[in-house]
A and B are shown apart, each in its own frame.
Chain A
Amino acid sequence: NAGVTQTPKFRILKIGQSMTLQCTQDMNHNYMYWYRQDPGMGLKLIYYSVGAGITDKGEVPNGYNVSRSTTEDFPLRLELAAPSQTSVYFCATQGYANQPQHFGDGTRLSIL
């Protein structure tokens, strides 16, 4: 089983460029989440979705956008990349409330 798949695994962007981080899941989970993790820190929630067509802001949403047109996909968009967005980005899914979250392997993003 693939579980949660994130692409790309690594990316280097220039300041001001845009890109989309992809997250796809094959577990038919309703809940999906995007986190970022800065060096030596815990994960911080960027955006989340409780189902297709529904998204909401997390703790650090500025500079990002999301959409959830299908159950399987939850892309994260960076419109104008800034050095402060250099981080590791994790996507996670969850079936129902209080069930464990399942994480992808992350996307390591550097903005220079």
Chain B
Amino acid sequence: DAKTTQPNSMESNEEEPVHLPCNHSTISGTDYIHWYRQLPSQGPEYVIHGLTSNVNNRMASLAIAEDRKSSTLILHRATLRDAAVYYCILRDPGTASKLTFGTGTRLQVTL
């Protein structure tokens, strides 16, 4: 499985945008880029996914580099409830759609 690299931790102030980076230089042409987050003492929660084009939903935006070797998850206005571990995962839909979790980025949001 192609691997991803994320910073261990990031901090943000409440109400400000947050850009969470992810490097995936060995991504294959069929890999989708998925983001999940895990709030304290909860199971992971799907955030967003994309293949080539930038994607938006009610939770976040996903910006994908033109060469697809990196991507950025954008939280437009961080709140205290966004404090979580964010996982960037490459997923090949042809392999039973398994998810391979790394250690993710722990986002701290402060007042």
A: which residues have CB within 8 A of B?
Answer: 4, 31, 33, 35, 40-45, 48, 50, 56, 58-59, 90, 92, 94, 97-106
Contact = CB atoms under 8 A, between A and B. Distances in A.
B46 A101 contact: yes
Given A43-B44, A48-B96, A90-B43, A98 B101 contact: no
Interface string B93-104: 110111111111
Contacts of A104: 43
- Counting contact residues on chain B (CB < 8 A from A), the size range is 20 to 34
Nearest to A6: B43
A90 B94 contact: no
Interchain residue pairs A-B with the least CB separation, the first 3: A103-B43, A42-B101, A100-B46
B11 interface: no
Nearest to B95: A97
Contact of B43 (A31, A48, A99, A106): A106
B43 A98 contact: no
Contact of A41 (B36, B93, B103): B103
B73 to A, nearest CB: 15
B98 A45 contact: yes
B97 A105 contact: no
B43 A50 contact: no
Given A90-B43, A100-B49, 6 more contacts: A43-B99, A98-B93, A100-B46, A103-B43, A104-B43, A106-B43
Contacts of B16: none
A56 B96 contact: yes
B32 A105 contact: no
A92 B101 CA distance: 13
Nearest to A108: B41
5 contacts: A31-B97, A43-B99, A98-B91, A103-B43, A103-B44
